[in-house]
Amino acid sequence: MSALLSIKNLWKDFGGFVATRDVTFDLEEGERHAIIGPNGAGKTTFFNLITGHMHPSKGSVEFRGKDITGIPPHKVVKLGIARSFQRINIFPRMSVFENVQVALMSREGQSLKMFKLCFDLHVAETNQLLDTVGLLTEAEETAGELAYGKQKQLELAIALAENPDVLLLDEPTAGMSPTETGDAIKLVDRITKERGLTLLFTEHDMGVVFGISDRISVLHHGEIIASGLPDDVRNDPEVRRIYLGEDADAAA
Amino acid sequence: MTSPLSKTGMAACLIILILCALTPLLQSDYLIDVVTEILIVALFALSLNIIIGYSGNVSFGHAAYFAIGGYVNAILLTTYGWPLLPSAVAGVLAATLTAAIVAYFCTRLTDIYFAMLTLAFSMLVWAIVFKWRSLTNGDDGFTPVHVPAMIDDRTAFFYFTMIVIVVSIAVLWVITHSAFGRSLVAVRENVGRAGFVGIHTRRMRWQAFVIAGFFAGVAGVLFGMYHRGMYVESAFWTQSAQVLIMTLLGGIYSFFGPLIGAAVLFMLERLTNEYTEYWPTVLGVILLAILLFQPDGLVGLGKRIKNKFGGGGSP
């Protein structure tokens, strides 16, 4: 069986600084895969290369066997790859409802429709998505005025609105308190199971990583130095030496 | 979710509309002139706000499309003796087409580079109008414009203008409250994220610019006939700046804001000119006050006052 997302010999070079070094990586349909690595390991760059936010210097990205290397973001998302961002990335002066509705209108190819009034478009589905992430009561609030954790939930709702097959989450719990982290992970866990989503995510919190992933890959200086089942990665001597250190025992 | 235009809002619009329509009954030429001109500049400001308030880019060259609409219509009517309809349509189309070409280049850029490029193109238009004397009569102004007999009367022209403007504003309202309009706000709010929900952001910004050019052209066509002349100043950057200030004064985050801004600024200019010749100074102070204290304009100020004095209380 071929992988859902297949990355072959990917390189990204920022004028001499190699952020992604010969990465070959397969994401299987339905799996939950964590990418870990220290700050500056190239995790976000790796995501940006997949979603078309950056062009790779070399190598290819294939999705369902189709080459999508260098395709712009707005086309990548239409193929079924959605992502959330490490930093809050919403439409701050629009209402929570509108944030999600805009994504739905885009999915349905209505963004350019100038004479189709927007008030009654996708009301039920928007509310249902807001309900899924627990924001239904905040629907009419201004998105930018929500608490940080709620803005992250909204990001997830926007990503889900695109009805993706693959969800890429770039540090979904960054900046959250331990309680918020727990809630956020439960939410991601539930949603990916309910919708049968393939999940690729980066994360610093080892508890989260080992808690929900089927497989883990370790990125270090732009290279994947280990990839496999959580236990294998945990026990990999190279990984222990370079990255996990004592944290591996703490997380265990 | 229902339409944001509440019953009170709808009633207010209707009352203003009726009051405008009744203006000629007051038998005051002055008043008819004032209302006609306010309607025209209001449409001009509303069109600019499609670029500023809705797509999130600042244009310093919006006068170009206003002037093209005005000049093309004036020249076709007068020099070539075209009837009103084809001439006006040609004027609007010329403005729209120019906007489409300019926007193709401008929407590749953002922020100050976008603004500067719109300014550069508008100066180009100004230079052409200024230099092409045989066609435009250069800085002597293209005057008089032959206004068709049907609307060659103060009251008739007033009603003609009013119908065109009301229809235009209605169409603009629909566009800004359509799927396109809301997606455009998303583009303004966060271009990157909008792109990654699948919105073709450059195409959207281009389309917004073209719509703005179209309605600026409509305003220009009316303006030329109202003044029975077109002057190079209409294409100059100061004209672009004035409509920009009107838009800011009213408030860019509201559909009707620019309309209010246009009316207020226009009246202020008239009144100030009756007492002093220092209008530019007054204008400067107004601009400072908006930018420093009221960045969301008069509409924002109104909202703040309403909130302060107990929300829904009857005025």
Contact B54, B208 (CB under 8 A): yes
Q: What is the pLDDT of residue B314?
A: 41
Specify the CATH number for the domain of residue A64.
Answer: 3.40.50.300
Cβ separation A74–B182 shorter than 8 A: no
Q: Judge whether B154 is closer than 8 Å to chain A, CB to CB.
A: no
Q: What is the pLDDT of residue A252?
A: 42
Q: Judge whether A141 is closer than 8 Å to chain B, CB to CB.
A: no
Q: What is the pLDDT of residue A250?
A: 47
3-state secondary structure chain A: CCCCEEEEEEEEEECCEEEEEEEEEEECCCCEEEEECCCCCCHHHHHHHHCCCCCCCEEEEEECCEECCCCCHHHHHHHCEEEECCCCCCCCCCEHHHHHHHHHHHHCCCCCCCCCECCCCCHHHHHHHHHHHCCHHHCCCEHHHCCHHHHHHHHHHHHHHCCCCEEEEECCCCCCCHHHHHHHHHHHHHHHHHHCCEEEEECCCHHHHHHHCCEEEEEECCEEEEEECHHHHHHCHHHHHHHHCCHHHHHC
pLDDT at residue A122 greater than cutoff 90: yes
Q: Judge whether B307 is closer than 8 Å to chain A, CB to CB.
A: no
pLDDT band with cut points at 50, 70 and 90 for residue B3: low
Tell me, what DSSP letter sits at residue B77?
A: H
Indicate whether A250 belongs to any domain.
Answer: yes
pLDDT band with cut points at 50, 70 and 90 for residue A248: very low
Q: What is the pLDDT of residue A3?
A: 86
CA distance A137 to A127: 10
CA distance B94 to B96: 5
pLDDT band with cut points at 50, 70 and 90 for residue A113: very high
CA–CA distances in Å: residue B270 to residues A170, A244, B260, B274: 57, 74, 16, 7
CA distance A93 to A105: 18
Closest by CA to B40, choosing from B7, B73, B10, B81, is: B73
Indicate whether A191 belongs to any domain.
Answer: no
Closest by CA to B96, choosing from B187, B236, B184, B208, is: B208
Q: Name chain B contacts of A113, Cβ cutoff 8 Å.
A: 178-180
Indicate whether A125 belongs to any domain.
Answer: no
Residues within 8 A of B (CB atoms), A 24-63 only: 51, 53
Indicate whether A219 belongs to any domain.
Answer: yes
Q: Which of A243-247, B1-5, B26-30 has the highest mean pLDDT?
A: B26-30
Indicate whether A155 belongs to any domain.
Answer: no
**B261-274 pLDDT, tens digit each:** 999 999 999 999 88
Kindly report the nearest CA distance between residue A63 and chain B, in angstroms.
17
pLDDT band with cut points at 50, 70 and 90 for residue B16: confident
Determine the average pLDDT of the residues in A131-135: 94
Q: What is the pLDDT of residue B311?
A: 53
Residues within 8 A of B (CB atoms), A 93-122 only: 93-94, 97-99, 101-103, 105-107, 110-121
CA distance A7 to A61: 5
Domain range for A222:
1-69+201-252
Of the residues A54, A99, A114, A170, the best mutation for testing chain B's interface (the one with the most B CB atoms within 10 Å of its CB) is A114
Nearest residue of A to residue B186, measured between CA atoms? A91
**B59-113 pLDDT, tens digit each:** 999 999 999 999 999 999 999 999 999 999 999 999 999 999 999 999 999 889 9
**B118-141 pLDDT, tens digit each:** 999 999 999 999 999 999 999 999
Indicate whether A87 belongs to any domain.
Answer: no
pTM: 0.91
What value does the mean pLDDT of chain B take? 92
pLDDT at residue A220 greater than cutoff 60: yes
Q: What is the pLDDT of residue B184?
A: 97
Domain tally, chain A? 1
Q: Which amino acid, one-letter code, is at B275?
A: Y
pLDDT at residue B187 greater than cutoff 80: yes
Indicate whether A120 belongs to any domain.
Answer: no
Q: What is the pLDDT of residue A33?
A: 94
Q: Which of A97-101, A209-213, A248-252, B147-151 has the lowest mean pLDDT?
A: A248-252
